[in-house]
Amino acid sequence: MSIYSYRHVISNERTCYWMLHHLRWPKKVSCPRCQSTTSWTMRDQGRPKYRCKNCRYHYSLLTGTELHGTRLPLTKWVLAAALFSHGISSMGLSREIEVSQRIAWKMLQKFRAAIQSSQILRKLRGSVEVDETYIGGRTKGKRGRGAGHKAIVIGFRTRTGKVRSMVVESIKTKQMQKLLKQQVAQGARLYTDEYSIYHPVRKWGFKHRRIKHSKWFVRGQTHTQGIEGYWGHLKPTLVGRHRSVSPKHLPGYLAEADVKHNLGLDTDFTDLILRCLLSK
Ligand SMILES: [Zn+2]
């Protein structure tokens, strides 16, 4: 959806409030502590506050969400989410919604954290390409495996096009085994290159096809071009939009890129971000 389509919502605080209310509780208000849907309603400066009839907990729209305790108007949050969904830097956001760059940066971090924690981590199945890459750092010259000061990122891509990428501290066989067990269902067919960390994957319960990059890159279905293509698209996006991405924040940026990629351009991403913010 375009930012223009949010113009009515962001024109006033009350409309924003009720839109978010509907996103959090499409049917009935429910207690964040015990999930009971019976409550007393009280008013506080026009906004309802609820008291759970089951556990007596007091709560309101933002209780227990990422937006709890925010001093910014909700209109700014919704506009920021819409801008974020189209890709924006903290500098750009600070100009558009008239907050300091520090606050804009914190808002973007909140969006990324919300997406990361809400990602449904179902294990990947079927045919899965696995590859690693190196992102960030300022070391010139050294490239590829063993390049210093860069974050190591492991990526998975199913042949249906879903991607998942994550930062790892080091690249060792033991760590690879743990990661694969977390992310990929047993019996899946893995496509990797000849790197030694992938050698024991059959022992770990996966089928395995190896690409001999020294001889050929594609042989029938045996290739890792999907995930390599994703890296090719990801890196310029990260470098182009944000001057530098610190390793500490890289997981958030990766989650943002993965979700955007997996959902495709047609999905209403703003809506999704707001849901993530409210679903804590
Ligand atoms: Zn309750």
Ligand 1 centroid–CA 275 distance in Å is 21
Pairing label, strands 47-52, 58-59: antiparallel
* Alpha-carbon span 127 to 166, nearest angstrom: 19
Ligand 1 centroid–CA 48 distance in Å is 16
Ligand 1 centroid–CA 63 distance in Å is 12
Q: Are 24 and 74 in contact (CB under 8 A)?
A: no
Q: Domain map of the chain by residue range?
A: 4-118+269-278, 127-247
Amino acid 139: pLDDT: 47
Ligand 1 centroid–CA 28 distance in Å is 13
Q: Are 6 and 74 in contact (CB under 8 A)?
A: no
Ligand 1 centroid–CA 25 distance in Å is 15
Ligand 1 centroid–CA 55 distance in Å is 4
Q: What is the pLDDT of residues 30-68, one digit of tens each?
A: 999 999 999 999 987 778 999 999 999 999 999 988 899
H or E, element range at 192: strand 189-192
Token pair 């990122």: residue:
153
261-264 long-range contacts, Cβ below 8 Å, gap at least 24? 261/163, 261/230, 261/233, 262/161, 262/162, 262/163
Ligand 1 centroid–CA 44 distance in Å is 19
- If you average pLDDT over every residue of the chain, what do you get? 84
Ligand 1 centroid–CA 64 distance in Å is 13
Ligand 1 centroid–CA 51 distance in Å is 8
Structure tokens at 119: 């990602």
**41 DSSP β-pair partners:** 50
Task: Say what angle helices 250-263 and 225-241 make with each other, to 10 degrees.
Answer: 120
Tell me which CATH code domain 127-247 carries: 3.30.420.10
Ligand 1 centroid–CA 40 distance in Å is 11
Q: In whole angstroms, what separates CA 17 from the centre of its chain?
A: 25
Q: What is the pLDDT of residues 227-273, one digit of tens each?
A: 888 888 888 777 666 556 777 788 888 888 887 787 765 566 787 78
Ligand 1 centroid–CA 37 distance in Å is 8
> Terminal CA-to-CA distance of the chain, rounded, Å?
24
Ligand 1 centroid–CA 36 distance in Å is 5
**Closest C-alpha among 245, 269, 220 to residue 90:** 245
Helix then strand then coil, % of the chain, to nearest 5 = 40, 20, 40
Amino acid 254: pLDDT: 87
Ligand 1 centroid–CA 60 distance in Å is 12
Ligand 1 centroid–CA 21 distance in Å is 18
Query: Helices marked H in 101-194 — which ranges?
Result: 101-118, 173-183
Cα separations in angstroms, 70 against 12, 74, 107, 108: 17, 9, 10, 14
Ligand 1 centroid–CA 243 distance in Å is 45
User: Residue 134 carries which side chain, given as an amino acid letter?
Assistant: Y
CB atoms within 10 A of CB 99: 18
Ligand 1 centroid–CA 111 distance in Å is 27
Structure tokens at 74: 């909700």
Structure tokens at 101: 């760059």
Amino acid 121: pLDDT: 59
Q: What is the pLDDT of residues 141-195, one digit of tens each?
A: 445 554 557 888 999 999 888 889 988 888 888 989 999 998 899 999 999 988 8
**Closest C-alpha among 123, 125, 127, 126 to residue 221:** 127
Say if residue 219's pLDDT is above 70.
Answer: no
Ligand 1 centroid–CA 242 distance in Å is 42
